[in-house]
Each structure stands twice: as structure tokens, then as C-alpha cells.
Structure 1
Amino acid sequence: MVEINNELLQMGKQAKRAARSLRKTTTKEKNEALLLIAEALDAETDAILEANARDIANARERGLAEAMIERLTLTEQRIEGMQNGLRQIAGLPDPITKTDTEWVNEQGLRIARRRVPLGVIGIIYESRPNVTVDASGLSLKAGNAVILRGGKEALKSNKAIIQAIQKGLERSAVPTDSIQLITDPSRELASQLMRFNQCVDCLIPRGGAGLIQAVLNQATVPVIETGVGNCHLYVHEAADVDMAARILINGKTQRQSVCNALESLVIDNAVADKVLPVLAEKLLDLNVEIRGDERTQELVQKAVLATEEDYAAEFLDDIISVKVVDGYEEAVAHIDQYSTGHSDAIITNDYRAAQDFLNDIDSAAVYVNASTRFTDGEMFGFGGEIGISTQKLHARGPMGLDALTSYKYVIEGSGQIRE
């Protein structure tokens, strides 16, 4: 058995007790707790922003990349968005009240499959303090206790947010130990959380490729893998050029530091002469560096030659890779080779090509004529998300309430025995 730090062991025991209590907590009580947390966040906005400003100052002193600092930054608008997310979660149906299916077998047993909480969820994440609220709210509504371990770059922000959350819970019927934050940023404690099987039922990492791979390689607790996003936009030969430009610019430049931002542009050679210079000019006007193949360099003077690493990269920056292809099949092959299975899109007015793309691309979210920036729990109507899963077991895509539940079979009889 892995030796667990005493503080973490105590947190685990408290979380287990809270999870048992949450199994009996009513939907009304959970919703009231979520609304009280939203009120507390509003009341504590100034304290949260002050703590966040200290985190940002420390991050700049340490030379963190601007993409990381952007993820770290909180504003009044973003805190208001967290509150609205909690209110939206409170308004959603409670997944724990669901019976998926029910039937009577030949022996007269009534068998039902009911949704149940996962139990205690551990979440390891980087930079984005809003994850503290999203993860807490969704876990609570689905009846789970949660142990959070954020990055050291956001420690002050996360502490201030958790203090507000705890103030909300103190006024509710939900145990305050339902939501706990590990304040020791050491890697050793994070490693122990990954192997804390006696108290943690599920582990969800949110962050860059390095964090996710570290969790996958070290964890003995079951892991739900969330998304590194090398997201592609394929401009088909039957694309509307104006639509392609709008979606490309939105996907690439609206917010570069998120996993659903576009990183790769694929375009049919049949229209590249006419379309690619137009798209490239718009990207270059917004200071986006273009890394492309030789055909791209022929058409875009400022493009630099792309490497294999560029085509596989999640840049999270003002950089995009470009590949010119000889038709649909080559486009699909390119995306299949380099996509991380997060979100990929096609721009086309050809119905057959659109339907083929939806079937051929094996990603968690596949789009026709829309921006990949919509791969988001709030945009999908989930009231936020716990993460975007790029795996296929248990949960896939934006993970809302249902993804934080499992199920059990409930069997009612009248004295039957098996012959």
C-alpha cells in the first residue's frame, strides 16, 4: 500500500464521509448549496481578484508564457461567469434521480439500472482557477465529493475561491468536506493523490500534455483522460470562403490558450490558389505565424516550412500549421494522423462530403460549418464541464453531470430463488 501523507489521508477520510452523506442529500439541498456558493463568490469577488493579481505577478516574475498567464487571469466578468455556471447547474436535472431502464425478467424480478455518484473524485489541474468552481459545482450536483489539486501558479487564487465556496457550504445542508483543496503544491503529494485508491474513486487531470501523461503514467486510481487539443479546420473544395474565414479566425484567435482553439488548417488544392492567400492574409493581419508545407509557401510568402512536430502540436499560441491536400481522402488521412481526437471541423456546402466527414473523423466532437470553440460544457448546455474527455471509455467530449455518475442494478423480488 502506498504511504499517504497524514494531511492527505485525513482529507480522504473526510471526503469519503461527505460522499456517503451526499448519497442521501436531496436535489433541493444540492441546488440550494450551489446558489449559496454563487452568492459567496459574488461577495468575495474583491478578495479573489486580489489573490489572483498576486498569482499573476508571481507568474510574470517566473517568466511564464503569456498563454499560461491568460489562462490564469481572472476578471469580474469571469467570476460572474463562474456564478452563472453554478446557477445553470442548479437548474439542470439531477442525474442521480434517473433510472436508465427497467424491466421484469422471466422469473418475475423487477430489474432497474439507476444512476449513482462516482464517489470521491480527485482533480489535478493547471493554471485556470475557474476549474475550481466548475469542478466543484458539477461534482456536488452529481453527488460526488471532490479533492482538488491546482497548480502552484494559481495557489492564491484557488485558496480564495475555496474560502468562498466553504462560506457558501457552511450555510447549506451539504457537508463542507464535500469540496476540499490540497494547498501543498509539492509533486510528491500529487503523486500520492494519484495512488490514493483507498479513498479516491476516480482521477481527472486537466492541463497540458505533460501533466496528462504524468498522471496516466503514475496513477493507480482509475483516470479519465482529458483533452490535449490539436484541432483541425478542413476547408473543402465546396467551402464558402467567407464562412471559412470567419470560422478560422474565431477558432484560432478568439482565445488561443484553450484546448478547443484551432491549431491546424487543411485546405483542398483545388481551391488553394484562390482561398489560401485570402485566409492567410487575415491570419497574418492578426499576427498569427503560418507554418505550412511547400505548397503553402508557394502561395503565402511569409509562411515558414512546417515540421512533423508542427503538424502534431498544440501551440496554444499565435501559430497555426497549414497543409494543402489533394482532395477529401488525403484530408481525412492527415487529420487522422495528427488529430488528438478532441475537435475537428469541415467547411463545405457539399452535403455528401459533410456527412462523410462526420462518419470518418473519430474525434470527440466533429463539426460541419461551425467553430471548434463550441466544444465546451457551457455551450453544450451542461452548465460548465469537468473536462473534455478524448478517450472512449465511460465518457467522451465535454463532461457534464452524467459523465460524473456510474450506475448500479437494483433488483426487487418476492422470494425468488435460482433453480
Structure 2
Amino acid sequence: MSLVMDINVEAQAKEAKRAAKVVSLLTTDQKNAVLKTIANTLEGNVDYILKANEQDLANGREKGYTEAYMDRLALSPERIADFANGLREVADLEDPVGDILSDWTLENGLQVEKVRVPLGVIGMIYEARPNVTVDATGLALKSGNAIVLKGGSSAIHSNQAIVDIMHKALEKTLIPKEAVQFISSTDRKATEQLFTMKEHIDVLIPRGGASLIKAVVENATVPVLETGVGNCHLYVDEAADLEKALSIIVNAKTDRPAVCNAAETLIVHEKWFDKNKKELIEIFKDHNIQVHGDEEAVREFPGAIPAGEEDWTNEYLSLDIAVKVVKSIDEAIDHIDDYGTKHSEAIITEDKEAANRFMKLVDAAAVYHNASTRFTDGGALGFGAEIGISTQKLHARGPMGLPALTTVKYQMTGDGQIR
């Protein structure tokens, strides 16, 4: 497989814009048929994809990527089957395009409809996970959009192979392959080109680490749907139930430590900690959780590391966790205000008044009472696949499913009315 490094990103974006017109005209049934064709074609070319993935894995081993990073990068027949099944699940989702959100008739008889329509062309900038190549494409096409994909260099061979197969599938469908563009250059300038092509790209969605998201948000002139880093907090209140607290902490930290909705900081009320620290310390030991703590936490947890400023801001993506002991719920909320990323925050308590205060005052896309932050996920929340989790407040917030990839258009029907 040869990777073309000298490419014309603007030309690709123009092709995507033309193809977006075609996609926008398709019916739900036609789009669903396309997704199922892509799914079947991916399953029929597993060996081709795995061979390309092995090139990326070999490069990762040579460069000394972390175990968590290599896990995100690695593909298998089972993971490719999951890609395909994910596309079929998107096909089963309700199509938001064409939904009439509201309608009314003016006194002069002019009929007004507020209708969901595709955004147009989505620019997707992401890092190690090859699954994003498939997931983002499926969501973009189902919502009537074209997409320009710019994956990270660590997964360049895997992503190129996946796009090759998707293009092969699209040749059998009503959607032109130009609707799915992949920027195969590893030159950073290719990514930067996407930032400023407002005339061709309607929205940028960055998905990855803090540095990537910051670069896009600070440099793009194209509108950005910001997906945020997950420095997620669990606050164990004075009135927390021990069994619930331990179960939620273990799930939020250890279920999948390398994802953005995993807990990275544990804040504990001092009275609860004094009463239950033995059980908490034991559960951390059982699950090999490494504590980076304040003075009290370091004093109590064996092997704890004193926390510096970077520990309160860190998205560890591992079995490390920052631990802070506080005197009040307001101290916990202040800490979250100072260090949170507006992603997912949780309070564990049997005090409904405390829970209500926390959920009203904490500024985040998702706030939980007596539940794990791991539920911040489109599938887990019951509305299907997601293209990312937005931590901003305009257009979309939280897990972004199909409706987030649409905008609205006012359609007016008259009979000669003039003003």
C-alpha cells in the first residue's frame, strides 16, 4: 500500500462538497443500504486491514508507544466485526434529516417549517483509534453529510486500508466515493489547511488528546464542535453509602481506564474518609490503583505519590488517580471548577439536598448522582452511536449522535405573498 504524501487538501475538500449534495438527496432507506454495504465489505476484507494495521503496530513498538496507546491502535477480526456491526446499528437509528421541528402559518397564509438538514461537509481530525474512521463515516453519511478524515500518523496505514475498503464499497452504491475523503499526508500542514477552509468545510470535529483539541480550537476559522478531554471527578460526600461508593469508584476508574469518561480524580469528604478509609485503601490495593494524593491521602494510602499541580489537571488514561480530601461539598465543587474539563462529574451521596446542589452548581456536559461517569456515551445513554462528546455549550453538548450532525433550515411555502 502506497501512501500519497504530496496531496491537495483543498481539492479533496471541494470534491467532498460536491458529493455532499448527492448524499443530502438520498432517502433514509438508500443511506441505510449504503451503510450495510460498507459493513459487509469491511467484513470481507479483514486480512487486508489487519496487514496494514500490523505496519502501524510495528511502528508503534519501535517508537515505544504505551500499552494503552497500542491497545487503542490495535485491530483484530473481532474489532473489525464490531466496526461493521456499528454501521448496521447506525442504519437502524432514526434518521433526523427532514424532521420538522416546528411549523406554523402566518396571518398572510405563508406556511413556515423549521426542518433538520445536514451540516454539509464534516472535517474529522483524530488520533490513534482506527475505529473512528468507520464510526465517523457512518454517522456522517447517515445524517446526509460528506466527510473529510484526517487521522493521526500512528494509524496511517490502518486508516488508509479502511478507507480503501469503504471506497470499494461505495462504488456499488448511490453515494460517490468522493463523499469520504481521507488525507493521507502525515505533514502537519495538511491538517492546518483544514483549519481555514470555511468555503468548503462546514464544521471541524477534533477527537483526541488535549494538545490536538487545543490546536484546533485556537487556530481554526472553520466552526468547531469541541470534544473535550475527560478530567472526570468523583465526589464521595459525607452521606455516601459505602457499598455504592466503592462499586462506582472501581467501575469509573478500572472498567476502561484509557477512555475519556473514566474517573481521573477522587474527592472525598473528610468525615466519610475517616470512617471508611480502610475499605477504600483495600479496594485500591485489590485493583492496583496508584494514588497521587494531597497530604492526607499520601499519609493514609501506602505507596501514594504526593500530588503536584499537574496531577489535578491530568487525564491519566491509566490506573493512576488523584485523591483529594475536603471539608465540604463546596470545597469539592470549587476544586472541580478549577480543574474540571466540563466533561463528566459525579456525586455519591444519600443526601438529596447535597446531590441537588452539586448537580446544579457543577458546570459539565454530564453530571451524575450515585452513578458512574462511564455512562457518558451515546450507546450507553440509549440514543445510539456518537461522533464524540462535546464539552462546549453551543449547538451540541455531551455525546453527539446523529442530530448533532445536522442544522436547521426554515422552509417557507406561499401562494404569491409579498411584504
Residue 119 of structure 2 is aligned to residue 115 of structure 1: no
Aligned 8 A contact 1:273 1:299 in 2: no
Unmatched 5+ residue regions in structure 2? 1-5
- In 2: Cα distance, 1:165 partner to 1:349 partner: 50
Per-residue CA distance 1:196-246 (angstroms, 9 max, x = gap): 222111111111001111111221111111110100111112212122112
State the match for 2:136 in structure 1.
135
Aligned to 1:314: 315
Quote the offset at 1:300 in angstroms.
1.7
Please tell me whether the aligned partners of residues 85 and 383 of structure 1 are also in contact (alpha carbons under 8 angstroms): no
Q: 1:101 deviation in Å?
A: 0.4
- In structure 1, how many angstroms separate the alpha carbons of the residues matched to 2:337 and 2:9? 41
1:333 matched to 2:334? yes
Name the residue aligned to 1:64: 65
Aligned AA (2:146) = A
| Per-residue CA distance 1:374-406 (angstroms, 9 max, x = gap) | 211222234321111110011111111000000
**Is 1:151 the equivalent of 2:149?**
no
> 1:297 is paired with a residue of what secondary structure?
helix
Which residue number corresponds to residue 3 of structure 2?
none
The answer for the alignment partner of 2:27 in structure 1 is 26
Write the distance in 2 (CA, Å) between the matches of 1:111 and 1:389: 31
Q: More displaced, 15-24 or 60-69?
A: 60-69
TM-score normalised to structure 1 length:
0.95
Letter of the structure 1 residue corresponding to residue 253 of structure 2: K
Q: 1:6, CA displacement in angstroms?
A: 5.9
Q: Which residue of 1 aligns with 2:299?
A: 298
Q: Name the residue aligned to 1:13.
A: 14
Q: Alignment partner of 1:366: what SS?
A: strand
Which residue is 1:268 aligned to? 269
Measured in 2, the distance between the counterparts of 1:178 and 1:343 equals: 34
d(CA) in 2 for partners of 1:357 and 1:78?
Answer: 38
AA partner of residue 161 (structure 2): A
**Unpaired segments of 5 or more residues in structure 1?**
none
Distance (whole Å) between structure 2 residues aligned to residue 82 and residue 276 of structure 1: 42
| Aligned-pair identity (%) | 51
Quote the residue 1:161 is aligned against. Answer: 162
Shift in alpha-carbon separation, 1:63–1:241, aligned structure 2, 3 A: same
Alignment partners' CA distance in 1, 2:117 and 2:398: 20
Specify the SS of the correspondent of 1:133: helix
Q: Is the 8 A contact 1:86 1:383 kept in 2?
A: no
> Quick one: distance in 1 between partners of 2:64 and 2:125?
22
Once superposed, what is the RMSD of the aligned Cα atoms? 1.5
Contact 1:85 1:378 (C-alpha < 8 Å) held by counterparts: no
CA contact (8 A) 2:7 2:185 kept: no
Residue 135 (structure 1) shift = 0.4
Aligned length: 414
> Does residue 55 of structure 2 align to residue 84 of structure 1?
no
Alignment of 1:6-405 (within 5 A): 7-405=8-406
TM-score between the two structures when normalised by the length of structure 2: 0.95
Contact 1:363–1:390, Cα closer than 8 Å, also in 2: yes
Report if aligned partners of 1:89, 1:382 keep a CA contact under 8 Å in 2: no
How many angstroms apart in 2 are the aligned matches of 1:79 and 1:279?
38
Mean CA deviation greater in 26-35 or 286-295: 286-295
